[in-house]
Structure 1
Amino acid sequence: MSVVVANPSASEDYFHFFGLHQQFKIDLPALDQAYLAIQKEVHPDRHARGSDAEQRLAMQMTTYANTALQTLKNPVQRGLYLCQLHGVDAQLETNTAMPTAFLMKQMDWRESLDERAEDLGELEVLMAEVQASKEETLAEIAQAIDGANNYVRAAELLRGLLFIEKFAIELDDAIDALI
């Protein structure tokens, strides 16, 4: 038995690997379906009796498919990957500059969390606001990438989305502590 799917070349990106268009808004069920089809062909158990080279290739393909799936399923990782494919480094570790309005909103949210840490109703209202901001940011990222091919702007928005998601986790923890 031989491995049906060839080893992905260095030029093949995760989107092409799954037969998807390179865009931020993707068809997640189609992604899952493509992943399952690939896994069915390359799963190491299917090649247990193959040569060492076939087994190694099956393991590499499985690892590649898993990494590709996780990258494309997560909106932040998908956006960062698209930016990278188009030569834009989001500089997550070194670029923490954010627009003043965004920083002010972050400060307001943190202040609200501190002041209302014991008020479940107020925290749930705050969570709704944070979720709305996250959805708005995701829509802006989709427009920057899919609509305008503006990967620099998308990288800025993705950095902001990471802040929003981190705060949402803290807020969710505060809500859980009250329940």
Structure 2
Amino acid sequence: MADDHFSLFGLPARYAIDPVRLEQAWREVSARVHPDRYATASAAEKRVAMQWSARANEAYRVLRDPLQRARYLCETRGVDLQTESNTAMAPAFLMQQMQWREALDEARDSGDAGALRALHEDLQGAQAQMQAQVAELLDAQDDPRQAGQRVREWMFLERLAQELRQVQNQNA
């Protein structure tokens, strides 16, 4: 079988992927390595089938998620994202993040559903813009280092969006 997630599914190692093709490839690989196909096989063959099945599922989970796919591409191209230790961000992004956090705090404290919706839309737009920038950096410019910086920012955006969803669910 293949060495990386993309080749496992016969896909080019690019950020832009066809989600339908990814799902079809995953189903094909899963059918070939599914442990049920090895019910009468030896214990070693069953164990290998289980390992390949788990690998196929993990690869699919990573590649179908845009942020996880971007992280994977950066890391496989030699960029250590240092997600636990490197919090350096562009000053403009840090200022914007502070504004979003303040808006979230104010909307949470006031219970203003309209403000929460507006922040949600703003974050969705920022995430879409971030995704487009990462795609450009990875696929067109082949600049995984710069893409890695944007991915770290995108991860902050995702955490903020998760907090917002929690607040919205509490207020629902």
TM range (shorter): over 0.9
Shift of 1:53: 2.2
- Tell me the secondary structure at the aligned position of residue 145 of structure 2: helix
The answer to whether residue 15 in structure 2 is matched with residue 15 in structure 1 is no
Q: Which residue of 2 aligns with 1:111?
A: 102
Q: Which residue of 1 aligns with 2:165?
A: 172
The answer to whether residue 102 in structure 2 is matched with residue 101 in structure 1 is no
The answer to whether residue 49 in structure 2 is matched with residue 43 in structure 1 is no
Q: Which residue of 2 aligns with 1:78?
A: 69
- Give the total of aligned pairs: 170
**Structure-1 separation of matches of 2:104 and 2:78:** 38
The one-letter code of the counterpart of 1:169 is: Q
TM-score, normalisation: structure 1: 0.92
Shift of 1:177: 1.7
Structure 1 or 2: more helix by fraction: 2
- Tell me the secondary structure at the aligned position of residue 116 of structure 1: helix
The one-character-per-residue Cα deviations of 1:123-159 (angstroms, maximum 9, x if unpaired) are: 1011100100000000000000001000001100110
* % identity of equivalent residues: 41
The answer to whether residue 139 in structure 2 is matched with residue 146 in structure 1 is yes
TM-score, normalisation: structure 2: 0.95
The answer to whether residue 156 in structure 2 is matched with residue 163 in structure 1 is yes
The one-character-per-residue Cα deviations of 1:83-136 (angstroms, maximum 9, x if unpaired) are: 122111111111100011101111101111111221001110111001000000
Structure 1 residues not aligned, in runs of 5+:
1-7
Structure 2 residues not aligned, in runs of 5+:
none
Provide the alpha-carbon RMSD of the alignment. 1.0
The one-letter code of the counterpart of 2:146 is: R
The one-character-per-residue Cα deviations of 1:149-170 (angstroms, maximum 9, x if unpaired) are: 0000110011001100100111
Q: Which residue of 1 aligns with 2:129?
A: 136
**Structure-2 separation of matches of 1:167 and 1:93:** 17
